[in-house]
Amino acid sequence: MKKFKLFTDATKEEAWLNEWMRLGYEVTRKNMFQVYSFTRTADTNRAIRIDCQSFSSKKAFEHYKQFHEELGWHYIDGSQWQHLHYWRSPASREDELFSDHDSEKLYLQRLTQYYSLYTTFFFVLAIIFVDDMSNFFNIQSAFLTPGLWNKEGSAFISAFLFELPFALVRFFSPWFMIVAGFFFLRTYMNYTKHLKKHRS
């Protein structure tokens, strides 16, 4: 089974994956297009956990995996180059990756930095896409065919329909970047609040 789902919050993503686990579907992979692959499982008592880690070398990444696998955790998905890593808990054992206050605080710090990075990334992309603020609200400016609006009849229709998908991408891309940026900003602020509570 495959499911497409967009998340801007690892905690909500984790909860969603565990809902499917309780229904008898275990996530086995997540690709770059946010499509999750699930397989049927009878072992519904395990938990899915998401960790946030970055690695400077393959050796550090392999050590990270080995450490948790020796404790019985199963590595589901991720790579040395990704920040989010997906784990399945051991059978009849502790189902939390972070067993103490300090390790959970470090996890929240990493998530806060991760979402701060994505917030900045999307807002910068929005600025790059919009080189003229007047184009931000004028969809006609997204059509680049010379003399398009002076054409008539079938010549206009064929030229308009040909460029329409490209124009829609040009026009809505900055809007998408801004909306995504605000979603990540909201998540970043939520994790900042959680982090402050852990420090107090």
- Tell me the per-residue pLDDT of 61-118, one tens digit each, with 9 for 90 and over: 999 999 999 988 999 998 888 889 999 998 756 677 776 667 777 787 888 888 888 7
How many structural domains are present in the chain? 2
**Cα–Cα distance for residue pair 45/94, rounded to 1 Å:** 11
Whether 94 is covered by a domain: the verdict is no
> Are 44 and 12 contained in the same domain?
yes
pLDDT attached to residue 144: 80
**Parent domain of 79:** 2-88
> Are 116 and 144 contained in the same domain?
yes
> Are 122 and 187 contained in the same domain?
yes
> Are 77 and 134 contained in the same domain?
no
Whether 45 is covered by a domain: the verdict is yes
Whether 96 is covered by a domain: the verdict is no
Residues in the chain with pLDDT values less than 70: 92-94, 99-101, 129-136, 194-195, 197-200
